[in-house]
Chain A
Amino acid sequence: MFDFSIITTAIDQFLRSLMPSAMAVFLECVLVAVCVIVAYVLLAIVMIFMERKVCAAFQCRLGPMRVGFWGLLQVFADVFKMIIKEIIHFKRTDNLLYNLAPYLVVLSSLLTFSCLPFARGLEVLDFNMGIFFVMATSSFGVLGIMLAGWSSNNKYSMIGAMRSGAQMVSYELSIGLSMLTLVALSGTMQLSEIVERQADTWFIFKGHLPALTAFIIYLIAGNAETNRGPFDLPEAESELTAGYHTEYSGMGFGFFYVAEFMNLFIVSGIASTLFLGGWMPLHIPGLDGFNAVMDFIPGIVWFMGKTFFVIWLLMWVKWTFPRLRIDQVITLEWKYLVPIGLINLLIMTLCVVMGWTL
């Protein structure tokens, strides 16, 4: 497999040869930040386009077709429209919090986004407790949503924010539990290391039943975390018009929108990293020829392929199911997912201790 760290090390050495090392590190930070933000925005655009086309396919429609070939430029046009739109300020909003909220949401998802290992050597934030970092950064997005709902001074937004608080804080638990199950299996919290340890078999196969259970719980809870249907209660458009972002216009709304899509990408990316081997090709122990062929496909293709497969799964769910009611959402979490998750963690630990893994 091609190791990306060759390129990054080369750039690093080149920069250090030109300038003092502190300067070089600063410049690298800026470069990396720009790259992350560009990747973030480009992926968001791809996802929005994908959502429209997938949704159209499920609904027997064509989706956007007019702007550019097959509607390819539609999302760019929409982004442009969003950028030039007026940001409307309201009299009785809490201005500081109102303006801060979208940035918090985007910041949270950007930080989590930087943890994803896209390919060997292509990870921005990678240290020995990566999973904890991911859980921590992804959970303060809910703060932004709560602030948005609170500061808008709108009753719909307020209800949306309250729903979101109840829902996201609850489902945080299930996500954490299913991630811990996999940590128990892998024995490490470093994301790149987790991928490396799936070189022989992906964890979803290695951990068989408990891993599969954790995967399903993760998908359900991840869907709830991203506020997407059937868990889109915080912005249930037929109940609360637009929920917590009712009062936002222009890029304020744009940030929420982009963050929602990117959270979907992140949830799927983590799912593919933890369960489906991340950038690791499909290896079947014993079939060396097959494994060698698989290795020819670059890691980034494997990662993106798996991630978009999970995204497609979640989109399928969103465009099929009606919305749940708030009490049903909470019941599902506390009465079913958390107990199952806890028992599952126990079973997984037992499997690892007894060596019952594949």
Chain B
Amino acid sequence: MNITFIPLSEFRPRMEALRQEKGMDFLRDIIGMDWGEEGIGAIYMLENSTTKENIAVATRTTDRENTIIPTVSDIWQIANMYEREVFDFFGVVFSGHPFMRRLYLRNDWVGYPLRKDYDESEALNPVRMFSEKNEEDYLHTLSPDGTITTTLDNSFDDKEYVINIGPQHPATHGVLRFRLSLEGEFIRKVDVHCGYIHRGIEKISEKYTYPQILALTDRLDYLSAHQNRHALCMCIEKAMGLEITDRTQYIRTIMDELQRIDSHLLFVSCAAMDLGALTAFIYGFRDREKLLDIFEEVTGGRLIQNYNTIGGVQADITSGFAGKVKEYCKYILGKLQEYNDVFTNNTITRKRMIDVGVLSKEDAISYGCTGGTGRASGWSCDVRKRHPYALYDKVDFKEVLYSKGDCYDRLRLRIDEIKESVKIINQLIDNIPEGDYKVKTKPIIRIPEGSYHAAVEGSRGEFGVFIESRGEKSPYRIKFRPMGLPLVASMHTLLKGCKIADLMAIGATLDYVIPDIDR
């Protein structure tokens, strides 16, 4: 992957030019980076959503005390969140950012953990046995004399009716916390607090060998376990120049699609549950169970399968696999009609979802909402079509697109995508070629020096892996593109003027998974 470095002084105008003149409207990711002697900075991965042209630019500064980079959060809306993450881990203050607050770690955390000179001693950051107070959220702004000042975050005042949705709440599907300011049933302000399940996977990975890191990817978005691991394996294989067999490609593609069906089934059932239709919820889980049985038979795991590995897959598929998958595909197509009957076409569902939480195409791109959410808004953002990998350029399938971008489109899109996944599986399942399921690799895997990137279409968006290697057996820096963070970021726009009940409908149909956001 080529990274173009831009000097700090030219950074803002060059970024604006990229957006305006080259039409780079999709900011895929901002990767904070500590290059050591050469400075601290960030890599910006940009894409033109129409021409699919990719570019990676970076900027850095050698000042480790007052590390300041101009913000791009006014150019791409999602940069707001990404920059907060970079600030959290690298201490880079983005000048002009409206809301520079730590994203994942506690406000009293000492130091910036992903810097290479970070002091890991436990004395500095002991396990704190008291909870963080809302009043202790700090904002970091740049004062005119060039220093960074820290002020208290006063976004909610005492007179407002502030309510917490989460971190323990049935509708957040995990430990995410929204602070809402309510006026009756209406939501006036939203503040997202992430980090309740932050495990520092990127930091841990810097000390692990590559095969060890594989075990962590399944635990990011547990409903895209296969795809996540596929992305990491693909990135490492690309870096090592490893050719994998056709049989592996077939198995990986089929498993990815099965995982997508699994995730979408859970999506539909959980959307039903959030709207209060418990019967539809149980129907989805009943059908998902059969799929998990297939996973269990092949991989040994039901949720966390640990199946892909560098150079192939852990174990060959079982003899009855093809038959069972075909049977399941037939079964699930019949059941989709049942979901439509009991839930999707229900009048109340339609009334609750149509025209609620409309995400325009421009906003979807600006927020980087890939996956089903982006496609429901009419943005053709499927990685399987944009940058085909594995066997996706050989199979025939349709990229499902809707145009309105409301909750109902997002719901229907998932059901349609299950059909497309079945179509892909049906094309592949009878033709799995003979051969090795795994290429032999060296016991110790090293990646040549350089930067590498690979992306797959996860169950809820583009899942990217970025590896910066210095030729060691562990990465210098590894970054996973979270699929859920853009979705959560877009809630700020979607929730304006909505009611509490709409929050559930929007949250359910955006389909975020928290461990993927927090990593």
Contact B171 A238 (CB under 8 A): yes
Determine whether the beta carbon of A238 is less than 8 Å from that of B163.
no
**Which residues of A lie under 8 Å from residue B184 when comparing CB positions?**
162
CB neighbors of A among B210-225 (8 A): none
A145-185 Cβ-contact flags toward B at 8 Å (1 or 0): 00000000001100100110000000000000000000000
Binds B, one of A19-27, A43-51, A109-117, A319-327: A319-327
Determine how close the nearest CB of chain B comes to the CB of A242; give it in whole angstroms. 10
Decide yes or no whether B340 CB sits under 8 A from chain A: no
A/B pair count, beta carbons within 8 Å = 85
Whether A323 lies near B163 (C-beta < 8 A) is no
Query: Is B278 part of the contact surface with A, judged by Cβ < 8 Å?
Result: yes
Name B253-276 residues within 8 Å CB distance of A: 272-276
Chain B neighbourhood of A238, CB < 8 A = 170-171, 273-276, 504
Q: Is the CB of A239 within 8 A of B286?
A: no
The answer to whether A241 touches B501, judged by C-beta atoms less than 8 angstroms apart, is no
Cα-based distance from A58 to B342 in the complex (angstroms): 11
CA distance A237 to B278 in the complex (A): 11
Bound-complex Cα distance A58 to B277 (A): 12
Q: Does B128 sit at the interface, judged by CB under 8 A?
A: no
A324 to B283: give the CA distance in the assembly, Å.
21
User: Known contacts A322-B352, A325-B501; is A58 also within 8 Å of B279 by CB?
Assistant: yes
Q: Does A252 contact B (CB under 8 A)?
A: no
Give Cα A320 to B341, complex, Å.
Answer: 10
Contacts known (A230-B276, A320-B277, A324-B348); A59 close to B282, Cβ less than 8 A: yes
User: Which residues from A are CB-within-8-Å of B163?
Assistant: 155-156, 159
**A239–B348 CB distance below 8 A:** no
Determine the distance from Cα of A241 to Cα of B166 in the docked complex, in whole angstroms.
10
Contact mask for chain A residues 254-292; partner B; CB cutoff 8 A; 1 contact, 0 none: 000000000000000000000000000000000000000
The answer, yes or no, to whether B330 is at the interface (CB within 8 Å) is no
Question: Which 10 pairs, one residue from A and one from B, show the smallest C-beta to C-beta distance?
Answer: A323-B276, A322-B275, A322-B277, A59-B282, A325-B501, A238-B171, A155-B163, A238-B274, A322-B348, A238-B170
A236 with B278: CB separation less than 8 A: no
Per DSSP, are chain B's interface residues mostly helix, strand or loop, or mixed?
A: helix
Chain B, interface size category, equals: 20 to 34
Take A58-B279, A239-B171 as given contacts and tell me if A322 and B349 are in contact as well, using a CB distance cutoff of 8 Å: yes
* Interface flag for A17 (CB, 8 Å): no
Contacts A320-B342, A325-B352 known; A59 to B278 CB distance under 8 Å?
Answer: yes
Residue on A with the closest CB to B180?
A: A155
Contact of A232 among B272, B276, B279, B502 (CB under 8 A): B276
* B346 proximal to A (CB < 8 A): yes
B500 within 8 A of A: yes
**Residue interface mask B481-519, A partner, CB < 8 A = 1:** 000000000000000000111111000000000000000
User: In chain A, what residue has the closest Cβ to B353?
Assistant: A322
> In whole angstroms, what is the CA distance A241 to B171 when docked?
9
Contact across chains for B185 and A324 when beta carbons are under 8 A apart: no
Whole-angstrom CA separation of A94 from B500 in the bound complex: 26
Question: How far is A323 from B283 in the complex, measured between Cα atoms in Å?
Answer: 17
Contacts of A237 in B (CB 8 A): 170
Contact B170 A241 (CB under 8 A): yes
Quick check: is B351 within 8 A (CB to CB) of the other chain?
A: yes
- List chain A residues, Cβ under 8 A from B275: 238, 322-323
Q: In the complex, which residues of chain A have a beta carbon less than 8 angstroms from the beta carbon of B504?
A: 238-239
Name which residue of chain B comes closest to A56, CB basis: B282
- In Å, the complex CA distance between A30 and B277 comes to 44
Complex contacts, B348 vs chain A, CB 8 Å: 230, 321-324, 328
A59 to B286, CA, bound (A): 9
> What chain A residues lie within 8 Å of B280 (beta carbons)?
322
Contacts A239-B500, A327-B499; A322 near B272 (Cβ below 8 A):
yes
B109: interface (CB < 8 Å): no
Q: When each residue 222-251 of chain A gets 1 if its CB lies under 8 Å from chain B and 0 otherwise, what string results?
A: 000000011011001111110000000000
B385 within 8 A of A: no
Given A58-B279, A155-B163, A237-B170, decide whether A321 and B185 contact each other with a Cβ distance below 8 A: no
Residues in A neighbouring B499, C-beta threshold 8 A: 325-327
Taking the closest CB of chain B, its distance from the CB of A171, in whole angstroms, is 17
- Chain B residues with a Cβ under 8 A of chain A: 161, 163, 169-171, 182, 184-185, 272-280, 282-283, 286, 342-343, 346, 348-349, 351-352, 499-504
Closest to B499 in A: A325
* Cβ B500 vs Cβ A159 within 8 A: yes
Contacts of A323 in B (CB 8 A): 275-277, 348, 352, 501
State whether B283 touches A59 (Cβ < 8 A): yes
Smallest CB-CB separation from A230: which chain B residue? B348
**Interface residue? A81 (CB, 8 A):** no
Taking the closest CB of chain A, its distance from the CB of B287, in whole angstroms, is 10
Chain A residues near B171: list those with CB within 8 A.
Answer: 238-239
New contact pairs (17) apart from A60-B283, A323-B501, A325-B352, CB-CB < 8 Å: A55-B279, A59-B278, A155-B161, A155-B163, A156-B163, A230-B348, A236-B501, A238-B171, A238-B276, A241-B169, A241-B170, A319-B278, A320-B277, A321-B346, A322-B272, A323-B277, A327-B185
Q: A59-B283, A238-B504 are in contact. Are A229 and B276 (CB under 8 A)?
A: yes
CB<8 Å pairs between A and B, sample of 18: A59-B282, A233-B501, A238-B273, A238-B274, A238-B275, A238-B504, A239-B171, A239-B501, A239-B503, A321-B276, A322-B276, A322-B349, A323-B348, A325-B351, A326-B185, A327-B499, A328-B351, A328-B352
Name the contact of A326 in the complex, choosing from B170, B278, B282, B501 (C-beta under 8 A).
B501
Q: How far is the CA of A159 from the CA of B351 in the complex (A)?
A: 22
Which residues does chain B contribute within 8 Å of A89, judged by CB atoms?
Answer: none
| Residues of B close to A233: CB separation below 8 A | 501
Contact A325–B161 (Cβ < 8 Å): no
Complexed CA–CA distance, A328 and B277 (Å)? 16
**Of A59, A239, A324, the contact of B279 (CB 8 Å cutoff):** A59
A236 to B499, CA, bound (A): 14
A61 at the interface (CB under 8 A from B): yes
Q: Which residues from chain A contact B346 at a C-beta distance below 8 Å?
A: 320-322
CB proximity of B29 to chain A, nearest CB, Å: 32
A152 to chain B, nearest CB (A): 14
- Closest residue to B350 on the A side, CB-wise? A322
Report the Cα distance A106→B86, complex, angstroms: 56
Closest beta carbon of chain A to B505's beta carbon, Å:
8
Tell me the complex Cα distance, A131–B504, Å: 40
Residues of chain A with a CB closer than 8 A to B169's CB: 241
Residues from chain B with a CB closer than 8 A to the CB of A321 are 276-277, 346, 348
Query: CB-CB contacts of A35-65 with B at 8 A, as 1s and 0s?
Result: 0000000000000000000010011110000
Would you give the 0/1 interface string for A302-318, flagging 1 where the beta carbon is closer than 8 Å to chain B? 00000000000000000
- Considering the complex, which residues of chain A in the window 305-358 have a beta carbon less than 8 Å from any beta carbon of chain B? 319-328
Give CA–CA (A358, B182) in the complex, Å: 54
Taking CB atoms, residues of chain B closer than 8 Å to A327 are 185, 499
Complex Cα gap A132–B439 (Å): 82
CB-nearest residue of chain A relative to B349? A322
Which residues of chain A are within 8 angstroms of B343 by Cβ–Cβ distance?
A: 322
Closest-CB distance, A170 to chain B (whole angstroms): 15
Cβ contact of A325, chosen from B182, B282, B502, cutoff 8 A: B502
